[in-house]
Every structure is written in structure tokens, then in C-alpha cells.
Structure 1
Amino acid sequence: MVKPLKSALALPVIATVLALGALPAIAQTGYPQKPIVLVVPQPAGGAADQFARPFGAALSQRLGQPVIIENRPGANGNIAAAYVAHNLPADGYTIFYGSVSTLAVNPHLYKSTGFDPLKDFQPITLTNQTPNVLVVGAGTPYKSVAEVVAAAKKAPGTLSFGSAGNGNTMHLTGLQFEAKTGTSLVHVPYKGGPAALTDVMGGQIPMMFHNLSAVLAQEKAGRVRVLAVADTHRSKLLPEVPTMTEAGAPGVVQLAWSGMLVRSGTPTPIVERLHKEMTAILDTPAFRKPLEEQGFDVLSSTPREFTERLKADYAAMGEVIKAGNVQID
């Protein structure tokens, strides 16, 4: 028969048991202990990639572990979002680079996206936003929004514009433009913004509504012309280019935001660590400057602020899509 421990000996044993019970929480403070994957739901070379790669490199330096960029394009980001939401553990070793298109627009367009943006993800911080712009090929005759509107009204249903796909914010900006200018355009969806922009430059389609960050280099090279910015103020990078309102399309405003998220259920200490390191990167002038020169408006937020913006835009985009009767083919 085993004799009961004396009280003087029992206290260290109890302390040891309690300490063992707390090991998971202690272990979390050692995060990360292996490489992290940053999933980007767009093709390599696109606007998202232009931001994600330098961000991943900076995050790697701060965390002391490699941050691997994994491009998973397709279905306006649904493929990547569903992959992160349901196929990977909620342990902070997979980060999703989400956007307004994937998280606030897609759920209203698809019968099933494979994920719930408000339940499956834990927002960490917004990272950037960029306005959409009306961009035309250098070979087109259009020098202003007024000329585009005149051409569209002269031959309704013939002037086309490209986008990264049905329901993408580029497409929705086009719908706003039609509604505010009283025009009827032909939407040509592509599998990603880069492909559409290539055809604008090549003359296969005359124009598109694209992210400023994605077209700025091509505008400077003379391959395209930016006619207007879908924002409430002019861009400091193209101060001579008017806003849509100034150019004759009042109320056409579309800011494409992006941010970093992890799976819901990720331990709070890990979310807090990621938020601390990510916002430190985003608030660093040396990181911000080169990206702002490319057209990104770099910003940061608290997880709560990001969540509130996601919910607000989720509701707003739902109304736009319903009013425009937008459907996925």
C-alpha cells in the first residue's frame, strides 16, 4: 500500500502538475518555431503579389522564421480562402492575405464559396488600400472620361471593359460607372487582372477599371493612360489625373483594401504577436515608402477595426450586387 504524501512534499508535486497543465500557454510564447506560409489568392506578379512579397520578407526578419509566399489563384480568391479556412490548423502558421473582393464581395455572388468570411477568419490588421482607376490603352482615342462616355452613348452596348472576373471590384466599379453616367458597357471577365491589363495594352479591349498600384508603372511607361481615379481625392502619385466626380462620373468611388487574417480559433497570444509585428512593419517609413510610390496606401488597424470594416463592406457590397443583378456565369 502506497502511503499518502506528507503535506510538505505534496506542495511541490501539486505545483509541478499545475505547471504541466499550463504548458500549452507557455509554448505559445515561443511562436513561431517553424516556417510560416502566407497564402496569396492571386497569380504571381499581380498587385497582391507586389505587396505580399516585401511584406513577407519583412515579417520573416521580425519573427526569425522564413515566410513562404504561396500563390493560389482562382475563383476570385475562393480557392485560397476555402483552403486556409478548412484544410489547415488554426495555429498561426498559415496567414491569409485577404481582400475586399474575396471576403466582402464573393459571398454575395457564389452559391457556395466554401468559407464564411465572418466566421472562419480572425482578422489581424488591414495592410493597404488602393483606388481603382479608369485606364485605357495608349492606342485608343480616349483622352478623358467625357470622351469615353460620349463613345458609349453613341453606340450603347459596344464599348467593352475588362476585369479580373465577374463580381471583382474592378467589375463593380464598371457597374457604378454605368449607373452614374447612364451608359451601357460590355463586361469582359478575365482570369485575373494582369491578363486583362495585358489585353488593354495590346488593344484587344479598350479599357478597364484596375487598381492604381497595378497600372502605375505601365502609365509611366506610356503603355496606358489613366483617365480618372475612383476616390474622393486625387492621388498624390498622379496629381494631374482627376477624380471620377471631377471627370463627370460623380459618386464612383471604389477602394480595394487588403489585410492579413488567420483561421478563427488561432490562440490569442499568437494573434497578438502577429498583430504587434505586422503593425510595426506597416508603420515603418522604410517599408511604406517604396510601396506608396507604387500606388499603395499603406495602413494598419486593430483586429476589431478590421472586423468592423469587413462587416460594413460585406453589407454594402451585397447591396451593390443586388442592385446590379450581378451573377456568376
Structure 2
Amino acid sequence: MSLTRPFRAIALLRCLPLILIAAALPTTASADWPERPIHMVVPFPPGSSPDLLARTISEPLSQALGQPVVIDNKPGAGGNIGTRMVAKGKPDGYTLVYTINGPLVTAPELYKKTLGYDPLKDLQPITLVATSPNVLTVPATLSVNNVADFIKLARERKGELNYGSVGPGSSAHLAMEMFKNEAGIDLVQIPYSGFPQVISAIIAGDVQAGFMVPAIAMPQVKSGKAKALAITSLEPSESLAGIPTMATQGYPGFEAISWNAILAPAGTPAPIVERLNKELSQIINSDTVRKQLAQQYFTAAPSTPQGLTDRIKKDQARWNTVINQLNLSLD
């Protein structure tokens, strides 16, 4: 026998508190997460700087979440392949990517036709992890001691000086092209397969300069085989104390920062994103991790998800200008 309208109304009112409580609860996937291991894709080879930093983060994250965080190295195409894999992955909180800024910032402009993902649409930022400036590095035998000296020499030997990069579109390439444009100098790019090869060429005098990652440059600077003329952060770096910024040597606003970040596929439930951000922020800010980052010349820099989004947008605008000035495409 069907209920009359008054009885139906009473029944609904009695159920209303339960309905409201259920609506306020997170989805089952979010409430129970994580129930199995989480895979953190690193789109670079084992032993690379991103790989080492990801492993520094993954161990305490495993402890915080109560599940293993497994590192999956998926190198190729400057980090684009592994990043694309995560961008197209299932947004359930079990797949993350630990990547550098290149696949998020410069890749969309360099690979307009073939990239296969949009960082701002296909990925959910979790947090920025750490930042590091590049180091303008020259041979120890080069008769320059600061940026002004180098510019003077480059103008005297117009078109004769070479610089090392790790290929077109790399941070080493784009930072130097920005410097060339602002300083009005002419240098010839010599691409190498990696930063170890670039620093070897600098030491040998095969190239006269390069914007280097500190972990590769500084051991050679400390040994007296190379000189560090400047760093590319706007503020001095604690881990690179004594090396002046480009900004204080006549180029205010000159910034070319390398950074690392953790992201998930777009659509990952908000409670999972919030949990990851909370746990990772505490881990990154811990004394142990900050010291480990500093050993590789990185500064801990956790952020909100929106803060990472803003950083991607800001850096895309900066480097898209340089890429377009060069009329550079890698498709």
C-alpha cells in the first residue's frame, strides 16, 4: 500500500539528517585513500637530480601515508614522456609525477603539435618542492672575474666565443639566449648530451661559458677548474654564498630558476590533493629534508596547489617570449 502525501513528507524529513551527513562525507575513494601503493613517476633516469630528490621525498611520504611510494623512472624527450603519461593517467590519487619545470613551462610552446598534454588542463598541481638558480660558469683560465668582464670580452671577440648547452630549448640554452639579448653580445651555442659533458667542455676551454646546474658546476668551481661569475636567482642563495646574482651585476629582473614540483592527473579528488599538500609541505619543511636539498644546492619551497599553478603561468609567460623571439620550435 502506498504512503499518503503527509506520511511521505514525514518519512523524508526523518531521512534528511542522514542524507545531509552522507553528502558532507568525502567519496569512498577519498575517504579510504590510500589503500595501496602510490606510484610517483620521475620522467628522468635513475641517478639524475630529479630522481634523487624524488627519492628524498618519497620515503617520508610513505611513512606519512602508511603506504609505499614507488618511484617509476620513465625518461625521454626531456621529461615530456613521463609527464604526459601521468597527465593521461587515472585521477585516483595513486599516480603522481615528480618533474622539473621544463615539461610544464617551456615544453607547451616548444612542442605545440606533438606534446600531447596541456599542463594547466591535464595536471593537478600538488606542491612546488624546491628551487635552484643556474650558475654562469666559465673556464678557470678565462681572463674574466665577473659579468661585466665577460660582456667586455664577448664584445671584443664578437662571434668567437662559444657556450655549452644541453640542446635547443633547454634551460641552459634559453637562459643564455636571454642573457645575449639583454647584454647585446653574440655567442655560438654548442649543444651537448648533458651537463657533465658541458662542464668538461668548459674546463677544457672548448666552450667559454654555460649556465650550469650547481650540482655539476660547483665541485669544479671549488676545485679551481672553473669560475662561477653569477647565479640567476633574484636573491642571494645560502647554498651558493659568495656568488653574486645577475641582478646585482647590472641585470635587474634577470631570473632563470630551475624548480621541481609534484603533480597528479587533473580531476584527482580535492581531499586527496589537500592531504598530499599537507603531508608534503611538512616533509619539505623538515630539517632533514631541507638539509638534503641544500646538499644538492636546492632551497625548499613548498607551495599551495594554486601557488604552483601561478608559478607555471608566470614562467610560461616569461619563457614563451624568449622562445618566440628565437622563432624556436621542436615539433
TM range (shorter): 0.7 to 0.9
Q: Mean alpha-carbon deviation: is it higher for 188-197 or for 294-303? A: 188-197
Q: Distance in 1 between matches of 2:93 and 2:202?
A: 40
Kindly indicate whether the alpha-carbon contact (under 8 Å) linking 2:29 and 2:92 is maintained by their aligned counterparts in 1.
Answer: no
**How do 1:112-127 and structure 2 match up within 5 A?**
112-127=114-129
Choose the corresponding residue for 2:62, options 60, 63, 70. Answer: 60
Is the partner of 1:97 in helix, strand or coil? Answer: strand
| Runs of at least 5 residues in structure 2 that lack an aligned partner in the other structure | none
Q: CA deviation at 1:228?
A: 0.6
Change (3 A) 1:202 1:59: farther
Q: Mean alpha-carbon deviation: is it higher for 169-178 or for 290-299? A: 290-299
Q: What corresponds to 2:171 in structure 1? A: 169
Q: What corresponds to 2:233 in structure 1? A: 231
Q: Distance in 2 between matches of 1:203 and 1:35?
A: 48
Q: What corresponds to 2:111 in structure 1? A: 110
Kindly indicate whether the alpha-carbon contact (under 8 Å) linking 2:240 and 2:297 is maintained by their aligned counterparts in 1.
Answer: no
Which digits, 9 at most, give the CA deviation of each residue in 1:17-43, with x for residues without a partner? Answer: 989999982342222222222222233
Q: Mean alpha-carbon deviation: is it higher for 294-303 or for 134-143? A: 134-143
Q: Mean alpha-carbon deviation: is it higher for 114-123 or for 280-289? A: 280-289
Change (3 A) 1:101 1:27: closer
Q: Distance in 2 between matches of 1:179 and 1:57?
A: 43
Q: Distance in 1 between matches of 2:314 and 2:119?
A: 12
Which digits, 9 at most, give the CA deviation of each residue in 1:3-27, with x for residues without a partner? Answer: 999x9xx99xx99x98999998234
Task: Specify the code of the residue in structure 1 equivalent to 2:110.
Answer: L
**How do 1:192-207 and structure 2 match up within 5 A?**
192-207=194-209
Q: Distance in 1 between matches of 2:196 and 2:116?
A: 25
Q: Percent identity?
A: 40
Q: Distance in 2 between matches of 1:46 and 1:194?
A: 11
| Runs of at least 5 residues in structure 1 that lack an aligned partner in the other structure | none
Q: CA deviation at 1:105?
A: 1.1
Is the partner of 1:227 in helix, strand or coil? Answer: strand
Q: What corresponds to 1:310 in structure 2? A: 312
Change (3 A) 1:327 1:91: same
Q: Distance in 2 between matches of 1:62 and 1:126?
A: 18
Task: Specify the code of the residue in structure 2 equivalent to 1:48.
Answer: P
Is the partner of 2:238 in helix, strand or coil? Answer: coil
Which digits, 9 at most, give the CA deviation of each residue in 1:195-232, with x for residues without a partner? Answer: 43344345443331023344334433444321111122
Q: Distance in 1 between matches of 2:202 and 2:85?
A: 32
Choose the corresponding residue for 2:182, options 180, 188, 191. Answer: 180
Change (3 A) 1:60 1:143: same
Q: Distance in 1 between matches of 2:197 and 2:94?
A: 31
Q: CA deviation at 1:249?
A: 4.5
Q: What corresponds to 1:252 in structure 2? A: 254
Q: What corresponds to 1:80 in structure 2? A: 82
Which digits, 9 at most, give the CA deviation of each residue in 1:233-281, with x for residues without a partner? Answer: 3222333222213335554321222211000011222212211111110
Is the partner of 2:234 in helix, strand or coil? Answer: coil
Task: Specify the code of the residue in structure 2 equivalent to 1:109.
Answer: L
Is the partner of 1:288 in helix, strand or coil? Answer: helix
Q: CA deviation at 1:45?
A: 2.9
Does 2:100 correspond to 1:99?
Answer: yes
Q: Distance in 1 between matches of 2:155 and 2:120?
A: 41
Kindly indicate whether the alpha-carbon contact (under 8 Å) linking 1:216 and 1:295 is maintained by their aligned counterparts in 2.
Answer: no
Change (3 A) 1:94 1:204: farther
- Taking only aligned residues, the RMSD between alpha carbons, in angstroms, comes to 3.0
User: TM-score of the superposition, structure 2-length normalised?
Assistant: 0.84
Kindly indicate whether the alpha-carbon contact (under 8 Å) linking 1:81 and 1:96 is maintained by their aligned counterparts in 2.
Answer: yes
Kindly indicate whether the alpha-carbon contact (under 8 Å) linking 2:50 and 2:99 is maintained by their aligned counterparts in 1.
Answer: no
Kindly indicate whether the alpha-carbon contact (under 8 Å) linking 1:46 and 1:193 is maintained by their aligned counterparts in 2.
Answer: no
Kindly indicate whether the alpha-carbon contact (under 8 Å) linking 1:46 and 1:194 is maintained by their aligned counterparts in 2.
Answer: no
Q: Distance in 2 between matches of 1:23 and 1:244?
A: 51
Change (3 A) 1:95 1:208: same
Q: Distance in 2 between matches of 1:199 and 1:93?
A: 42
Q: Distance in 2 between matches of 1:241 and 1:148?
A: 15
Choose the corresponding residue for 2:73, options 58, 71, 74. Answer: 71
Change (3 A) 1:265 1:138: same
Q: Distance in 1 between matches of 2:199 and 2:31?
A: 45
Q: What corresponds to 1:292 in structure 2? A: 294
Task: Specify the code of the residue in structure 1 equivalent to 2:111.
Answer: Y
Is the partner of 1:326 in helix, strand or coil? Answer: coil
User: TM-score of the superposition, structure 1-length normalised?
Assistant: 0.85
Q: Distance in 2 between matches of 1:214 and 1:68?
A: 27
Q: CA deviation at 1:119?
A: 0.4
Query: How many residues are aligned here?
Result: 320
